[in-house]
Structure 1
Amino acid sequence: MVIINNFEEYKSHEGKQLGESEWHTIDQAQINKFADATLDHQWIHVDKEKAESDGPFKSTIAHGYLTLSLIPYLWKQIADVRNVKMEINYGIENLKFGQPVLVDNHVQLRAKVKSIVNLRGVVKATIEATLAIKDNPKPAYVGDVVFLYHFA
C-alpha cells in the first residue's frame, strides 16, 4: 500500500503505476444484494437456471455498476491518502466495459496515477482504473476515476 500525505507526495506518483488491490470474489449473494439495492433484477444477474440455459455466458454475471461500485473499497487497498479533510468521488471518464464478470470470478483493481492538479487548494487526482479478472487476459473495464481531495 502506498501512503500519500500531501499534494507533493501525490504529484511524485504522476504517470506511474500505483499498485494493485487484493483479489475480490463477486459471488451470487453480492450480486443479489446489489440487484435489491438498485432494483435491477434482470435475469442475467439473478436467475441462475435461466442464465445457464439461455444466457450467452452460461452463468449469471455481475452488474457493470456493481463492479464500478467496488472502486472505493478496492482503491483503499492500494492507496492510503492521509491528512484529508474531505474526499469526493468526482467522476469517471472514458470508461469502457471489456468483459463481463461472471459469478464467482475474482477481480482486482489496478491503478495508475494519470494526473494530479492543485486547483487552488483542491487536489484533483485522475486515476486510470483497470478491473482485472483472474485468469482472463481482458479486463472487466478500464476508465479514469477522478477524486477531489481537500488536504488539511
Structure 2
Amino acid sequence: MYPRRLPLRAGSVRCAAACRPRRGDGERPRTTRPVRNPRLLCWPPRSPRLPRTVIPDIPALKRFVGHEFDPSPWVLVDQARIDDFARATGDEQWIHCDPERARRESPFGTTIAHGNLTLSLAPYLLNQCVEVRGVRLVVNPGIEHVRLRAPVRVGSRVRLRGSLIAVRELKGGAARATFRCAIEVEGETRPAAFGDFHVVYYP
C-alpha cells in the first residue's frame, strides 16, 4: 500500500504553491520563460517504484526475518554500462563489447552483460528495496549459492526481488543480514541470477 499523502509543511514547494494568491486575488500574473527543451525537466526518466521498506534501526532487523520486500525499480543495462564494466575489469571479450560481431556470431544475437556485472548491481538494487536507519557503515562481505541462470542482453532492464532470511548479531551493535535475492530480467521467466547476499550494518 502506498503511503498517504503527507500534510503541507511550511516552506515546502507544495505549501508555497497552495498558499500563492490566485489570479483575481490582487496578484499580477507572472510571466514564465519558455523551456527550450522540456525533456530536460524529466531526464533521466524515472521508473515507477514501489515504496521502500524502512527498518528503524539495526536491532529491528530480526523482526523482518522471513519478510519478502517489494521489488526494486527496473534498471537499464545498456551498452555504455557494459563497456564501462569491461574497462574496469579488463574483461573486454567480444560477446560483451563488439555489437557487430555479436550480432553475426553470438548465439544470443547481440551483446550481453557480464555475469559479474549483473551481480554487482545487487547492492544498489537491494538498497532500493530496504532502508535500514541508524547505520553509519555498510559492508558487503560476500555472496553464497550464486547461480547465473540467464543472459542479460544489452538494452534489457533488470530488478531485484528478495527476502531477509537470517540476521546474526556482531560486536559493537553491528549485525550481519542475509538476503535471498533473485535478479529478474523484464519479460523473461527465469531470473538472470540468484543467491544469498550478506550485508553487515554498523551503527
Per the TM superposition, whether the score is higher than 0.5 is yes
2:156 is the counterpart of 1:105: yes
Q: Give the secondary-structure state (helix, strand or coil) at the position aligned to 2:65.
A: coil
2:159 is the counterpart of 1:74: no
Higher strand share: 1
Query: Share of identical aligned residues, percent?
Result: 39
Letter of the 2:116 partner, please give it: Y
Which residue of the other structure, out of 115, 132, 151, is the alignment partner of 2:184?
132
Output the CA distance in 2 between the equivalents of 1:150 and 1:38. 29
Letter of the 2:200 partner, please give it: L
Superposed structure 1 runs of 4+ greater than 6 Å apart? none
Which residue of the other structure, out of 134, 142, 148, is the alignment partner of 2:194?
142
Bigger radius of gyration: 2
Alignment TM-score, normalising by the size of structure 2: 0.72
Q: Give the secondary-structure state (helix, strand or coil) at the position aligned to 1:6.
A: coil
Which residue of the other structure, out of 58, 66, 71, is the alignment partner of 1:15?
66
Output the CA distance in 2 between the equivalents of 1:111 and 1:79. 10
Output the CA distance in 1 between the equivalents of 2:68 and 2:148. 21
Aligned pairs for 1:40-59 (under 5 A) are: 40-59=91-110
Aligned pairs for 1:26-37 (under 5 A) are: 26-37=77-88
Letter of the 1:110 partner, please give it: R
- More divergent stretch after superposition (89-98 vs 119-128): 119-128
Output the CA distance in 2 between the equivalents of 1:16 and 1:73. 19
Which residue of the other structure, out of 88, 94, 102, is the alignment partner of 2:139?
88
2:62 is the counterpart of 1:39: no
Alignment TM-score, normalising by the size of structure 1: 0.95
Output the CA distance in 2 between the equivalents of 1:40 and 1:99. 19
Residues 3-58 of structure 1 show CA distances to partners (whole Å, capped at 9, x for unaligned) of 11223421111012122100111000110111111111000000111111111101
Q: Give the secondary-structure state (helix, strand or coil) at the position aligned to 2:87.
A: helix
Contact 1:7-1:118 within 8 A present in 2 as well: no
2:47 is the counterpart of 1:3: no
Letter of the 1:68 partner, please give it: L
Give the total of aligned pairs.
151
Letter of the 1:85 partner, please give it: R
Output the CA distance in 2 between the equivalents of 1:84 and 1:94. 27
* Alignment RMSD (CA, Å): 1.1
Give the structure, 1 or 2, with the largest relative contact order (CA under 8 Å, sep 6 or more).
Answer: 1
Output the CA distance in 1 between the equivalents of 2:87 and 2:78. 15
Which structure 2 residue ranges, 5 or more long, are not aligned?
1-51
Contact 2:64-2:164 within 8 A present in 1 as well: yes
